[in-house]
Every structure is written in C-alpha cells, then in structure tokens.
A = this chain, B = another copy of it.
Amino acid sequence: MRILGIDPGLTRCGVGVVELGAGRRVRFIHAGVIRTPPSDPLEQRLLAVSRGISALITEFTPGAVAVERVFAQHNLRTVMGTAQASGIALAMAAEHGLPVGLHTPSEVKAAITGYGSAAKLQVGTMVMRILGLDEIPKPADAADALALAICHGWRGSVGAGLEANGSETPAQRAWREAEKSAGKRRVAS
C-alpha cells in the first residue's frame, strides 16, 4: 500500500509517497513540495495547496494519508497558516475517501530514529538510509513528509501484524525495538 505523508505549510507544504511492503519494507515513490508565494492572497494559497494535494492523490493513488499533527503551542507566528493548510490536507484526504493518520513530530522522530527528540538532520539521514536514497531528500519539508509516511506505515496495523511472524530483517527488528523503547520514554500527550 502507498502512503502519502503531508507536512502542512503555506509557503512550503512537504509531500512524500512511500510504498509499504512485506516485512515493514518501505520503498521511495515520490517527494516534493507544494509552494505558494506569500504575496498571493491567503485564499489562493490555500486553494493551491488543496489542488496540489488532490493532484498528488490522483497521480500516486495512496491508500492512506499521514498528516503532521499541529500544535498551537509552538511557532505562534506561523501556526495559523500551518493549521489552515493542515485542515486543507485533511479535508482533501476525506474528499478522496482515504483514511487519515495524525502523528506528532516526536512520534515521527521516535519511529524513524528511535529517539523522539532527534534533530532534523538525523531524521533526514535516517529517511535517506531507510529508503536507500543517495542523498537526503531536499528541502527538509519533503524529507519530513517521507518520515511521516514511513512512521504511519510502521505504526499501523500492517507493521504490528508482521512483528509476530518473524519476517523482519535484523535491521527492521532493530528499528522496531528502538521505536518501542522510544515510545516508553515518550511523555503521554
């Protein structure tokens, strides 16, 4: 199944598509950024994000959408645009009949690096390694969107089912265990 990850934003909305296979294997399909100029009227920017996401869903036919959960607590200056873009992403997923998963940044970091407070570079590096890419996807928003998609796949029921049947590679098992122990350390939100 393909998973579309969306790191919502107005100036740069990161998007990434991965294919989740057997044994928690994930394959890179697409990464990019929907950009809208800050000089455009807000409603036109939101419409551009909406159409961009809709076009991606049509092109890559994901079976699920993962969106970063936005909090009001940080980045007060930009949080409203981010929240509005996330609303657009969620409504677009629903419009296409796709199930949605919301993941916090620390959940994504824990799933990808085993550590919920990992630095951006560390997340990007692990996304590159997990997907077997030659370099870290750029810009960071695209890497974050791929991380969200991977996180969604690994945290979902598909991954949970595989834990029991021993089809993991040793590296995949290491990821899962790191994720688990990070989960234990995480403060309930």
- Chain A positions within 8 Å of B, measured between CB atoms, are 41-44, 46-47, 49-50, 70-73, 76, 79-80, 83-88, 90-91, 93-95, 100, 102
Contacts and interface: CB of A to CB of B under 8 A. Distances in A.
B76 A43 contact: no
Given A47-B94, A72-B80, A84-B86, 6 more contacts: A43-B91, A43-B93, A43-B100, A46-B91, A83-B84, A86-B87
A83 B87 contact: yes
Copy total for this chain: 2
Contact of A42 (B50, B88, B102): B102
Contacts of A83: 79-80, 83-84, 87
A40 B83 CA distance: 19
Contacts of A47: 91, 94-95
Contacts of A93: 43
14 contacts: A41-B100, A43-B90, A46-B90, A46-B91, A50-B95, A70-B80, A71-B80, A72-B76, A72-B79, A73-B76, A79-B83, A80-B83, A84-B84, A88-B91
